Amino acid sequence: MALQRSDHIGVVVTSRSSRGRRNAFGCELRNTPTVDVQPFLFLLFCLLPSASFTADLQDLVSASNDFEVEMIEHEQVLERSPSATELAAGTFKYANAKERYFVEL
């Protein structure tokens, strides 16, 4: 028959008898309160992916902002009737920003 007692921190500890209970290594088992690790594992598995998604989202926002800036700058280059060198440089900058944005997407 199991005996129950409440220790000083309010945890109910159940014991059968203090004599004869030993683990596989021969050490006497004592009545210690156990901690439920399931809530901690739940939090761990919820917080780790959210941290990685946060980094991915930050990269996407940064690439989106860079793409928008390069798009506006490229539009301004096209409006001024640029030389071939200026047009090529503006197009390459725009293409790199666009590629980075679609890679992050």
Tell me, what's the pLDDT at 85? 93
The token pair that represents 86 in the structure block: 């200026």
Residue with tokens 């004592």: 30
The one-letter amino acid code at 34 reads T
Instruction: Determine contact, residues 31/9, Cβ cutoff 8 Å.
Output: no
Local confidence band at 98 (pLDDT 50, 70, 90 cut-offs):
very high
Tell me, what's the pLDDT at 34? 65
pLDDT in tens, 11-27: 444 444 445 577 677 77
pLDDT in tens, 53-95: 888 888 999 999 999 999 999 999 999 988 999 999 999 999 9
Rounded mean pLDDT, 90-102: 93
